[in-house]
Amino acid sequence: MQIISTGLDGLLLLEPPVYKDSRGYFFESYNAKQFLINGLEYFFVQDNESYSHKGVIRGLHYQVGLMAQAKLVRVALGEVLDIALDLRKDSPTFGKHYSVILSSNNKKQLLIPRGFAHGFSVLSEEAVFLYKCDNYYSKAHEAGFNPLDTQLAIDWKVSPKMIQISDKDLAWPSFPHH
């Protein structure tokens, strides 16, 4: 597994080796031993999957307090623009975001530590998005920021007329930039 720094502390891009032949391909999407060998000490407790179509933006979501979550995210079908926003006030990259294309073709994964908000936009006709979490979902601890906050200036790579966002995500506050 190749581990690539993103420039935001703890936020890592992972590229697993993919073995292809005439039958198709095989790769390990997660191996606890490989994580430990590389100093990545996570214990994932919940797997989630979402299906979306082109133009959908989900996020920017996170959980607060004791229910904060780290996530290992990837795409099983299609292509998304994945976004991680640093919420750690003591971090030199507080308020900065990282974006990467994750797809069923490139097999890249993003390891998002606790202290980040997360979201993605769907660039392909449809997408199946998978993520492992190191803490359980808690409705009482969910939080978010409006993904269209102009001060964040995130280019979601989706034409404005195609954007589809839930009312709940649009109701999240803007990011506090001070």
User: Closest Cα partner for 67 from 84, 45, 40?
Assistant: 45
Q: How far is it, in rounded angstroms, from Cα 140 to Cα 145?
A: 16
- Which residues, at least 6 apart from 51, have a Cβ–Cβ distance to it below 8 Å? 126, 127, 128, 129
- Residues 72 and 111: their CA atoms lie apart, in Å, by 5
Q: Which of 42, 51, 131, 137 is catalytic?
A: 131
Q: Which residue in 30, 53, 61, 62 is the catalytic one?
A: 61
Active site residue 131: yes
Question: Tokens at residue 136, please?
Answer: 């359980």
Q: Is 98 a catalytic residue?
A: no
- The residues that are catalytic are 61, 131
